A and B are shown apart, each in its own frame.
Chain A
């Protein structure tokens, strides 16, 4: 039974880099109205954006965002790996009642990934003096960005790799 999807496999595999692309788009310098990246501009309130220290803030914010979003992506990957290992372990029990609902397992891991990424983002956010100074709305944006990155990475891994995509689709 052939498991190769040919060129389609490449297309599905491309999903894996979407979170990275988003990360790059959000933080790469040169983008945004002020050329310091999109995320720093979104996080900074207007007063800061117009102040001279914005440029220092942008440098720090980019660094912290890279750390937070990368860790979130790693969380997404780790939960995807955990999903695979859990399913494999359950299958190897050869108890059919334990393996009737694969998608529930997928979504439960999805939830855990989001929560863990959000917690990590929150923790890191408060470690940073520059980010602590931001408004609560900015905090939420940053935490959401981490959670979304983890979720995206998790889902892209599921859909982008043959094994878990087939398991999820059931075909």
Chain B
């Protein structure tokens, strides 16, 4: 059985690095192969280098020990697949959107510039996204949609996902750029790749909410950067996106494991340098590995809506006095960490010095295991010594990153270390240690193995060694001996009853400080312990998390977060927060319909509506430019030859990456009925004399049609055009244009949206009418007559609501 673990971005890489460490020391059950991969543009990321180096060393170690067929939960028993083609993947080879989206071709520009700002797109030689997406999930999805990158991923991953038992677990953060962009995308890509009749792999997504917060006071804001103050908001946007997908039964996974923490770890400003994110490992990353273990042991059956699994935070005591025999994921995690730490200590302090004493002889009185091991492994003591040293070398990063080893392990390979580096290393270790529950892990400098193993039989250290199962790795027998010994571990101090009142392992909690945007207390109950518990109603819980305020809990003097007005606390989302190229359209709805919407934005929108519906700037017909994206190769294969030819001829000449991004990340799962067939994007422009078969320039695009708001403005709308639309909007508003449209559409707008298959029509329909009604009408101004409006358009196969905009006729 293969457990394919794909980490997306820096946090995903940290989770996968942690996971391979824990797999090496036996966290996972017998019979499992772990296949790790990280998808991130930054090849030099410390977590990626750490993971690939460890996997390579681990494989060498097992090969040297002739144990590559070992497949059990003893230390070094889980095969971890080393595959250079797969262990690290780049989403795409390009370093900027300009090249990726093929913007040297003028035909692609209107589309790209409608969704991205000029700063994000860059130019022919720029490299904005060479090492990451810096919190721009909407840009990230374009890179993940690159056909070459997708093909590399699918080619590599398909060889490991062949049977119904195989599992895919995707890790990433919801508050960054790469992970937020890639998690759903990778899950969907793998899921959609399975041909009908193939076994579809079971997929879980482990998503980390903001659990650390860099101090960004010294950040260089002239470049693209991921502002930590937006982390929480980004998490909220991610839940909004997930809740919407879940509502449409469109989540591409069997299980969702959100993990967060009430108070994130704070990192100093020096750690926030771009592309230098050598952050310390934190406990939440270990819980992410437990989520993968849970998914292996308790797989979900395929349902329309995935299982949402939540847990409470870990509090001592770690073993319930009522159920000391109970073995949970957490017990196993603690057991393998303690086991590895004690094994390491025994090797370092005892085994290695003794075997070292045996050089030149084959036996040492008092320690017959040395002779036995040399006989069984057919290795001289020197080679045996090398084996144990290699084992400790493998264990050092495992224990070091977990905070079990003292700080000094970080200095081992460094020369001429500055005082600043030492302080940083000490702080890293201290933060890692502090992130674990008290007494959960041992600190090696305080670990007295004589006390922990006081009841063990020291003469039986290697008695369990069997070359048939252990190959040439006697260290496995030692580890088994350690784990089978009655270890006396600290239970941790804490009241058993406190667990029921513990925090959820989430950012959001229940209580007066955590309310939804309507001011109600969040209802997250159901979960009572620190195991992964499936909640009853995934859709409702995701909606609960999506409607949370997602604001920082920090308050000023004399102020509590609950006393501040809600409007001051909820920040409007940014397009960069949503993993879809359509993010500007999603955000725009919030911007103009929300309680905190700016009047200027509303007037600009009214101006856009005027430009779409009423004669403006001497246009004789609606200034709409239709860009047909067409179908992909797989879809074309199912068409008649003539249709294939037509589609090829009429489709826009744009890069597959751009086409795929627009199509695959569209939140409207039925875009072709909800907007226009053949994946046609309808642009509103103000090009005065657009010739047939030509496209407007990108700076002439005003916006594009989207059902939530009718039109969404282009991201690259110039300030001059925005001012022009603002003045237009103010002017026509005072003439009663808003009220006129409201009266024209109010009767059937909801029905027509519903007939178009627009998701959430019951929400966005009434909101649009309310929006129109709210514009003040100056009675002294001459009213506008609807007779002036365009009465028809030439958009083939557009959705009923677009036709209704012009004809105002609708029959259900």
Tell me which residues from 9 to 54 in chain A have a Cβ below 8 Å from any Cβ of chain B. none
Q: Are the CB atoms of A171 and B363 closer together than 8 Å?
A: yes
Q: Which of A3, A95, A96, A101 has the most CB of B within 10 A?
A: A96
Interface residues as binary, B430-473 with A (CB distance below 8 Å gives 1, 0 otherwise): 00000000000000000001100110111100111110000000
Closest chain B residue to A163 by CB distance?
B459
Residues from chain A with a CB closer than 8 A to the CB of B465 are: 1
Q: B469 to nearest A CB, angstroms?
A: 11
Q: Are the CB atoms of B350 and A102 closer together than 8 Å?
A: no
Stretch at the interface among A55-63, A84-92, A136-144: A84-92
B368 within 8 A of A: yes
Interface residues as binary, A64-95 with B (CB distance below 8 Å gives 1, 0 otherwise): 00000000000000000000000110011111
A101-B366, A167-B365 in contact; A91/B459 too (CB < 8 A)? yes
Q: B450 to nearest A CB, angstroms?
A: 5
Q: B682 to nearest A CB, angstroms?
A: 75
Q: Are the CB atoms of B345 and A170 closer together than 8 Å?
A: no
CA of A94 to CA of B456 in the docked complex: distance in angstroms? 12
Residues from chain B with a CB closer than 8 A to the CB of A92 are: 450, 453-454, 456, 458
Stretch at the interface among B196-204, B370-378, B653-661: B370-378
Residues from chain B with a CB closer than 8 A to the CB of A101 are: 365-366
A94-B349, A163-B459 in contact; A102/B366 too (CB < 8 A)? yes
B346 is contacted by which of A94, A163, A166 (Cβ under 8 Å)?
A94
Interface residues as binary, B633-650 with A (CB distance below 8 Å gives 1, 0 otherwise): 000000000000000000
Q: A90 to nearest B CB, angstroms?
A: 9
Q: Are the CB atoms of A88 and B459 closer together than 8 Å?
A: yes
Q: B641 to nearest A CB, angstroms?
A: 72
A116 within 8 A of B: no
B164 within 8 A of A: no
B357 within 8 A of A: yes
B422 within 8 A of A: no
A103 within 8 A of B: yes
Q: A19 to nearest B CB, angstroms?
A: 24
Interface residues as binary, B331-361 with A (CB distance below 8 Å gives 1, 0 otherwise): 0000000000000011001100110010000
Q: How large is the interface on A (under 10, 10 to 19, 20 to 34, 35 or more residues)?
A: 20 to 34
B364 within 8 A of A: yes
Q: Which of B350, B363, B477 has the most CB of A within 10 A?
A: B350
Q: Are the CB atoms of B459 and A170 closer together than 8 Å?
A: no
Q: A83 to nearest B CB, angstroms?
A: 11
CA of A88 to CA of B457 in the docked complex: distance in angstroms? 8
Q: Are the CB atoms of A1 and B459 closer together than 8 Å?
A: no
A167 is contacted by which of B346, B453, B459 (Cβ under 8 Å)?
B459
A100 within 8 A of B: yes
Q: Are the CB atoms of A94 and B372 closer together than 8 Å?
A: no
Q: Are the CB atoms of B450 and A93 closer together than 8 Å?
A: yes
Q: Are the CB atoms of B368 and A169 closer together than 8 Å?
A: yes
Closest chain B residue to A93 by CB distance?
B450
Tell me which residues from 96 to 135 in chain A have a Cβ below 8 Å from any Cβ of chain B. 96, 99-103, 105
Q: Are the CB atoms of B365 and A102 closer together than 8 Å?
A: yes
Residues from chain A with a CB closer than 8 A to the CB of B369 are: 1
Residues from chain B with a CB closer than 8 A to the CB of A96 are: 349-350, 353-354, 357
Q: Are the CB atoms of B370 and A170 closer together than 8 Å?
A: yes
A92-B458, A94-B449 in contact; A170/B350 too (CB < 8 A)? no
Closest chain B residue to A165 by CB distance?
B368
CA of A100 to CA of B365 in the docked complex: distance in angstroms? 8
Q: A6 to nearest B CB, angstroms?
A: 16
B151 within 8 A of A: no
Residues from chain A with a CB closer than 8 A to the CB of B477 are: 1
Q: Which of B365, B450, B477 has the most CB of A within 10 A?
A: B365
Q: Are the CB atoms of B458 and A88 closer together than 8 Å?
A: yes
Q: Are the CB atoms of A170 and B364 closer together than 8 Å?
A: yes
Q: A98 to nearest B CB, angstroms?
A: 10
Q: Are the CB atoms of B458 and A91 closer together than 8 Å?
A: yes
B345 is contacted by which of A91, A94, A100, A105 (Cβ under 8 Å)?
A94
Residues from chain B with a CB closer than 8 A to the CB of A95 are: 349-350
B49 within 8 A of A: no
Q: Are the CB atoms of B367 and A99 closer together than 8 Å?
A: yes
Residues from chain A with a CB closer than 8 A to the CB of B463 are: 1, 3
Q: Are the CB atoms of B363 and A170 closer together than 8 Å?
A: yes
Tell me which residues from 516 to 563 in chain B have a Cβ below 8 Å from any Cβ of chain A. none
CA of A3 to CA of B228 in the docked complex: distance in angstroms? 61
Closest chain A residue to B457 by CB distance?
A88
A103-B365, A168-B365, A171-B368 in contact; A1/B453 too (CB < 8 A)? no
CA of A143 to CA of B365 in the docked complex: distance in angstroms? 32
Q: B696 to nearest A CB, angstroms?
A: 78
Q: Are the CB atoms of A167 and B368 closer together than 8 Å?
A: yes
CA of A93 to CA of B350 in the docked complex: distance in angstroms? 9
Interface residues as binary, B472-489 with A (CB distance below 8 Å gives 1, 0 otherwise): 000001000000000000
Residues from chain A with a CB closer than 8 A to the CB of B371 are: 170-171
Q: Which 7 A-B pairs have the closest CB atoms?
A: A102-B366, A91-B458, A170-B363, A171-B371, A96-B353, A170-B365, A166-B368
Q: Which residues in A have some Cβ–Cβ distance to B below 8 Å?
A: 1, 3, 87-88, 91-96, 99-103, 105, 163, 166-171
Some 12 contacts from A to B, beta carbons below 8 A apart, are: A1-B463, A87-B366, A91-B459, A99-B354, A100-B354, A100-B357, A103-B365, A103-B366, A105-B366, A163-B459, A167-B366, A169-B368
Given known contacts A1-B464, A166-B368, what 10 new A-B pairs fall within 8 Å (CB)?
A1-B462, A1-B465, A88-B458, A94-B345, A96-B357, A101-B365, A168-B365, A169-B368, A170-B371, A171-B368
